[in-house]
Structure 1
Amino acid sequence: MNLASLRIITTNIKQLVQFYEKITGLTAHWSTADFAELHLGSFNLAIGSTLTMSLFGKDFAEPASNKSVTIEFLVKNVDEDYDRIKDALAEIVQEPTTMPWGNRSLLFRDPDGNLINFFSPVSPEAIKKFS
């Protein structure tokens, strides 16, 4: 089994897609005006408007209400990415910090309040784990 996609439902799809394009440096592929994807190698980050949920027959998702999931991106250098994107971040939860398990981590929120973690392994054990 492989994780194929993580989908975020939003009321402001253009704003959220532009945000993820900025932080990833990628260009989204728009299938319709209500659905876009960023291809991130091993999986896709999909962003859909609330209208896409009605196609399933019911509104199963509540935009901007996530309080339990962190979207994590393994990046080459957290500090360099922080310098590149910090002006685009409305809420920084934690500036780059080396965690006890050996990853350097940057926590911030997207425009809908979803928690994002950019991390880079820095200890020998963490580097080995992710190489």
Structure 2
Amino acid sequence: MNFASTRLIAADINASVAFYEKATGTPATWSTPDFAELRTPAGATLAIGSERTVPLFAPDSAVPAANRSVILEFLVEDVDALWKELATWVTDVVAEPQTLPWGNRSLLVRDPDGTLVNFFTPVTPEAREKFGV
């Protein structure tokens, strides 16, 4: 079994896709006006569906802007440099870059539906070794 992707259900799919494209520098591939995917060079996929896709699975099984248990995490080359870019347009900043006890320097923001997003750079030798950077 292979983990294939993480899917978000968005109230405004265009705003959500634009957020992730701009924040990650990764272009989305649209399958339909209600479904897009961002594939990172490392092979991870973030899928984004509009709330109109939910009934295709099961009515009322997912609700946009209701998540408070998942953090999407993106390994970036330089979180401080990214912060300088994001600070000009991200409106919901949870925590500016800080170095955490496990060796990652992390920036926490929320996407248009309130999902917590962590951009991080390993900075200690142990963390850098863990991620192979």
TM-score higher than 0.5 here?
yes
Mapped to 1, the partners of 2:129 and 2:46 lie a distance apart of 26
Name the structure 2 match of 1:70.
Answer: 71
Question: Are the aligned partners of 1:93 and 1:109 in contact in 2 as well (CA < 8 Å)?
Answer: yes
Mapped to 2, the partners of 1:83 and 1:121 lie a distance apart of 18
Name the structure 1 match of 2:3.
Answer: 3
The ranges of structure 1 where at least 4 consecutive aligned residues each deviate by more than 6 angstroms after the TM superposition are none
Q: Secondary structure at the match of 2:57?
A: coil
Name the structure 2 match of 1:94.
Answer: 95
Name the structure 2 match of 1:34.
Answer: 34
Root-mean-square deviation over aligned CA pairs? 1.0
Cα offset, 1:54, TM superposition: 1.0
Matched residues, percent identical?
A: 55
Mapped to 2, the partners of 1:2 and 1:23 lie a distance apart of 26
Matched residue count: 131
Residue 11 of structure 2 aligns with an amino acid whose one-letter code is T
Name the structure 2 match of 1:104.
Answer: 105
Mapped to 2, the partners of 1:79 and 1:18 lie a distance apart of 21
Q: Which runs of 5+ in 1 are unaligned?
A: none
Cα offset, 1:43, TM superposition: 1.8
Deviates more, 1:80-89 or 1:6-15: 80-89
Q: Which runs of 5+ in 2 are unaligned?
A: none
Name the structure 1 match of 2:114.
Answer: 113
Cα offset, 1:2, TM superposition: 2.8
Cα offset, 1:57, TM superposition: 3.6
Name the structure 1 match of 2:19.
Answer: 19
Name the structure 1 match of 2:80.
Answer: 79
Question: Are the aligned partners of 1:4 and 1:42 in contact in 2 as well (CA < 8 Å)?
Answer: no
